[in-house]
Amino acid sequence: MSDGEKNAEFAARLKSVRRKLIYTVSAGLIFASSFVAMISAHDWQSASLHFTSLQLFVSLLLTIAAATCLRIFWKTLSTELVAPPIALTIAPASGARGRDQKNTDSPLPSSAAAVHDTQEQKRYQEENRKLALAANLTSNLVMITNADGDMEWVNPAFISTTKYTLDEVLGRKPSELLLGPDSNPDTVKFMLEKVAQGQGFHEVELLNYTKEKVPFWLLMEMQPVRDHHERIIHFIAVGNDISKHKQLEQALRISESKFYSAFRCIPDAISITRVSDSRIMDINDRFEEVIGYSREETIGKTSLDLKFWVDRSERDRLGKQVLEQRTVTDFPTRFRMKSGDIRDFLFSCSLFIVDGEEYFLSSVRDVTLQKKIERQNEELDRALLKLAQGTAYAKDRDNYFETLVTDLASALGVDRAFMGLRIPHTPNKLRSIANYLQGKLSENHEYSYLDTPCESIMAGKISIFAKSVGDLFPSDSTLQEQGWEAYAGAPIHDSAGHIIGVLNVMHKQPLENPELVKSLLEVFSERASAELERKRTEEALKASEQRFSNIFSNSPTAMSVSYLKDYRIVDVNKAFETLFLRSRASALSKTALDLNMYCDIDDRTAMLKILNASNMLSNFEAWMCRADGSQLLMQLYGNVFSDPAGEKFMIVAFKDVTEQRAIEAEIKALNINLEDRVNERTNSLQQANQALATTLTTLNMAKDELVRSDKLAALGALVAGIAHELNTPIGNSLMIASTSLDHTKQLSKDFTSGLTRSGLASYIESTRDANDILVRNLQKAAGLIASFKQVAVDQTSSQRRKFGVAELVAEIVLTLSPTIKKTSYTIYTSIPEEITLDSYPGPLGQVLTNLINNALIHAFDNRPTGQISITAKIISDKSVMLTVQDNGVGIPPENINRIFDPFFTTKLGAGGSGLGLNITHNIVTGLLGGRVQVESTLGTGTTFALMLPRKAPLTAEAKNQA
């Protein structure tokens, strides 16, 4: 190879080294800027990785710089000293010298023996002298051997390099002195073969060793020297020491290896693109992994050919920016992969120039997962913040659980989240109450949780199946059909710790962070449990408030609720409106002072003082004014309570005791003037008894007259009944009056002869009892005369005992048989003998009598026939149902809700007083402790159902006695 060719080869290698050096420096700048950005963003893990890459780049840069300097030095050295091997044409010598012969003029042996011409000999000697001079001055190693290969002469450069002396060299073969363990045997064999064949060789590289076994490289060339008979008489070998060149090549190979190792091992995807045609010149292995295109598919193509850019305008804008600023760092963008997926990247690019050609060194870092994690962290923070705020974060409190599952799915990045509750009285089944599926809420559904992942959750465990959940539950059709890969869930508890439902998430990819999923499920399930309990408590509170409202509104006692801070009225009930003659609207937001309710303002002040001091008020009496100006003596009861918000209220109940106090005053006055009042009362009673007796006589006479008259037969029956009813109270009244008269006469006698204290006390006690009996009998008689029918039942006189219902009904029917026989209607009874009651047979008999009479008067409407059925059956161990049913005309719907009202009748003046059903209702619901139900259909008939306890409740008197 000529010097020109060697220099061209060297220049090409140097150019390659320079280009790679620029690549490396540019990549180092990009990674340095990325490293700074990561430090600023506190991304310590990525920063650590990039710092390692920066260290590798710095080392590589220093190595390449050193190699470049050595290259330049070698080029200079080669240009000055390296020359093609010397081509010797030495004439044969006339004789040979021994090894110990000294030849200071010419170290070369003579080769001119065959030359007979003296002038020619001188010419050869001059050439040999010049050749020897050149051999002594060159830095190349020169060796001359005989035809057998034994060394005859070496130049000073040989001695200087190998450290051998001339005496140690002469007569020895080069292979004996210079070869070592790492000398290439194939090269040695090649050289020996050439020598044996009498041929030369060119540019053979061989590793040699000095006397001290220090290796060095020689670029060898050897040529034979022939005489005029073409016989080989010498071999001349020239060796160029290329050790430094070899070291430089090795350093260059190492630097190239480091560059490509760094280029391929950098964690970011790197590409080198030629600016002039936008073609990709090289990519690293990470580029193939991230983008998906192989090296063969990428090299020589443009990014547009690969449809790499999602937004082409970004490519043009970034290219222009790099050309202007020469670098772009961490530009967020999106690239399309070979698979078609679009992912997020940080794009960095630097411009560099090699031999006048511009190139882009681009680095892209896939941050899709990082952004996904950031989004998940944002969703997680948002969800946890909203979760901590409770129901306040939901616009609609009713949609709380829908928002809960939506936030849970968003925070975990899963495809589905739902919440289900156990269906009451249905084993092994759940009903979802909130269902989030792939970005939207979906329909709720019911399902059995047996042989599903929910089964372990309903057993009380948080379950995480991070992958292959379908393989674990092959019989779960939902998992198989919809292709769910992962499942996780947590139980939901009530306040007692019982499991009432599940909170689940499902995903079509494996769960990346099961521990995070478990932690979030624990938090969200606890919040869901708390919210369910809150809702149940709220519903119970609403029900309680509704019950209180009903009791408050319908209570027969007048009540008001007011703010404690300013005493403004918040609410009043119907009884308040009735008692004070004020509408609810007129009282709201007013105070009792505004309404002038207290006759004496000091009473109000004293009442409020007591209520504020003790939070209670009892038996406080005050005169109060009604809306019409009338005054009533009220007994007040009060209490203070607070609502959930801490606002204090007072509730006050008002009891009208005006009449009660008037009666008490009357009794007090009666006790003061007892004798006068007794005489006055006795005279009044005698007059009343006389009036009653006269009335009874008149009625009896009327009765006799009506009996004799067919047209007044019905009236005669009525009078007979009234006479019978009046006989007892009037007889009792006469007897008491006469007895009191006797006692009064006796008292007068005693007063004249000497009245004792015990006698007076006995007279007062007997007179009080007599007056009480007399008043009751006269009131009863007066009521019968005024209304022709009993209006109320004296419960205190009712006798309680055990009796058979069938026996009682038979007695009632027998009693009414005279009346029934006068009609064309029949009574049918069907009552089992074993039905017994511990109750009040008298009041119950009156109820049955009223219901039968009501049917006879109203049910059949002059129909020729009709039937009344009385039946009974046992409902439970504690109750029976007694039914009175007729097949009459029925009750119109508009009257059905009024039939128990007092004085409501459709037969006024035709046998109806309007009190029968009212008395019936009061007896059944009061004394007997039951309830009455009525069903009626026009044209079909009416049914009265009495639901009676088998053991009637105790009356107030019985309770006091107990």
Q: With beta carbons less than 8 A apart as the criterion, state whether 424 and 501 touch.
A: no
pLDDT of residue 780: 66
Selection from 20, 23, 45 nearest residue 365 by Cα: 45
Contacts from 285-291 at CB under 8 Å and sequence distance 24+? 287/364, 290/337, 290/364, 290/366, 291/335, 291/337, 291/338
Runs of H (alpha helix) within 88-235: 118-137, 156-162, 166-169, 174-178, 185-196
H or E stretch at 218 = strand 215-226
Amino acid at 378: E
Whether the pLDDT of residue 111 is over 50: the answer is no
Whether the pLDDT of residue 401 is over 90: the answer is no
- Give the C-alpha separation, 63 to 20, whole Å: 12
Instruction: Please report which confidence band the pLDDT of residue 945 belongs to, taking 50, 70 and 90 as the band edges.
Output: very high
Q: With beta carbons less than 8 A apart as the criterion, state whether 254 and 63 touch.
A: yes
Whether the pLDDT of residue 714 is over 70: the answer is no
Q: With beta carbons less than 8 A apart as the criterion, state whether 432 and 454 touch.
A: no
Q: With beta carbons less than 8 A apart as the criterion, state whether 500 and 454 touch.
A: no
- Give the C-alpha separation, 469 to 489, whole Å: 12
Q: With beta carbons less than 8 A apart as the criterion, state whether 274 and 357 touch.
A: yes
Strands 463-465 and 486-493: antiparallel
Which tokens belong to 260?
Answer: 């490509």
pLDDT of residue 813: 86
Q: With beta carbons less than 8 A apart as the criterion, state whether 805 and 835 touch.
A: yes
Tell me which of 160-174, 348-362, 371-385, 710-724 is least confident. 710-724
DSSP character string of 922-933: HHHHTTS--EEE
Q: Which residue has the higher pLDDT, 367 or 788?
A: 367
**DSSP for residue 91:** P
Question: How much is the average pLDDT of 68-72?
Answer: 44
Whether the pLDDT of residue 23 is over 80: the answer is no
Largest Cα–Cα distance of the chain, in whole Å? 217
Instruction: Please report which confidence band the pLDDT of residue 723 belongs to, taking 50, 70 and 90 as the band edges.
Output: low
Most confident of 247-256, 365-374, 606-615: 606-615
Most confident of 4-18, 255-269, 358-372, 907-921: 358-372
Strands 416-422 and 357-366: unpaired
Tell me which of 109-123, 240-254, 824-838 is least confident. 109-123
Q: Which residue has the higher pLDDT, 213 or 266?
A: 213
DSSP character string of 401-421: HHHHHHHHHHHHT-SEEEEEE
Which residues are bridge partners to 761 per DSSP?
none
CA distances from 207 to 158, 244, 424, 794 (A): 15, 13, 94, 141
Q: With beta carbons less than 8 A apart as the criterion, state whether 39 and 47 touch.
A: yes
- Give the C-alpha separation, 854 to 936, whole Å: 14
What residue has token string 């709380």?
A: 400
Instruction: Give me Rg for the CA atoms of the chain.
Output: 64
- Give the C-alpha separation, 661 to 815, whole Å: 44
Strands 866-876 and 825-830: parallel
Cβ neighbour number for residue 797 with a 10 Å cutoff = 9
Q: With beta carbons less than 8 A apart as the criterion, state whether 696 and 687 touch.
A: no
Angle at 919 between CA 917 and CA 922, to 5 degrees: 110
Contacts from 852-855 at CB under 8 Å and sequence distance 24+? 852/812, 852/813, 852/816, 852/820, 852/827, 852/884, 853/816, 853/819, 853/916, 854/916, 854/917, 855/884, 855/886, 855/888, 855/942
Selection from 378, 434, 442 nearest residue 410 by Cα: 378
Cβ neighbour number for residue 164 with a 10 Å cutoff = 19
Q: Dihedral (C-alpha) 691, 695, 696, 701: value to the nearest 10 degrees?
A: 140
Q: With beta carbons less than 8 A apart as the criterion, state whether 260 and 246 touch.
A: no
- Over the stretch 494-539, which tens digit does the pLDDT of each residue have? 888 889 999 999 999 998 888 888 888 888 888 888 888 888 887 8
Q: With beta carbons less than 8 A apart as the criterion, state whether 793 and 833 touch.
A: no
Q: Which residue has the higher pLDDT, 347 or 378?
A: 347
- Give the C-alpha separation, 435 to 809, whole Å: 62
Q: With beta carbons less than 8 A apart as the criterion, state whether 520 and 513 touch.
A: no
Question: How much is the average pLDDT of 545-570?
Answer: 87
Non-local (6+) Cβ contacts of 887 within 8 A are 866, 867, 940, 941
- Give the C-alpha separation, 21 to 36, whole Å: 23
Which tokens belong to 788?
Answer: 């022709």
Q: Dihedral (C-alpha) 187, 191, 196, 199: value to the nearest 10 degrees?
A: 130
Q: With beta carbons less than 8 A apart as the criterion, state whether 900 and 917 touch.
A: yes
Q: With beta carbons less than 8 A apart as the criterion, state whether 480 and 474 touch.
A: yes
pLDDT of residue 353: 85
- Give the C-alpha separation, 660 to 444, whole Å: 64
Total count of residues recorded for the chain: 962
- Give the C-alpha separation, 913 to 922, whole Å: 16
The pTM of this model reads 0.36
- Over the stretch 271-291, which tens digit does the pLDDT of each residue have? 889 988 989 988 888 888 888
Tell me which of 107-116, 157-166, 406-415, 604-613 is least confident. 107-116
Amino acid at 74: W
Whether the pLDDT of residue 630 is over 70: the answer is yes
Instruction: Please report which confidence band the pLDDT of residue 855 belongs to, taking 50, 70 and 90 as the band edges.
Output: confident
Q: With beta carbons less than 8 A apart as the criterion, state whether 334 and 318 touch.
A: no
Q: With beta carbons less than 8 A apart as the criterion, state whether 408 and 383 touch.
A: yes
Instruction: Please report which confidence band the pLDDT of residue 628 belongs to, taking 50, 70 and 90 as the band edges.
Output: very high
Which residues are bridge partners to 491 per DSSP?
502
Mean pLDDT of the chain: 78
Q: What secondary structure, in 3-state letters, does 362-373 show?
A: EEEEECHHHHHH
CA distances from 808 to 323, 831, 839, 926 (A): 116, 10, 12, 20
CA distances from 884 to 869, 939, 941 (A): 6, 17, 11
Whether the pLDDT of residue 919 is over 70: the answer is yes
Residue 463, phi then psi, degrees to nearest 5: -115, 130
Q: Dihedral (C-alpha) 313, 316, 319, 320: value to the nearest 10 degrees?
A: -110
Angle at 44 between CA 41 and CA 45, to 5 degrees: 125
pLDDT of residue 528: 84
Number of alpha carbons in the 13 Å side-chain half-sphere of residue 245: 18
Strands 446-448 and 429-437: antiparallel
Cβ neighbour number for residue 596 with a 10 Å cutoff = 12
Q: Which residue has the higher pLDDT, 62 or 86?
A: 62
Instruction: Please report which confidence band the pLDDT of residue 663 belongs to, taking 50, 70 and 90 as the band edges.
Output: confident
- Give the C-alpha separation, 624 to 607, whole Å: 13
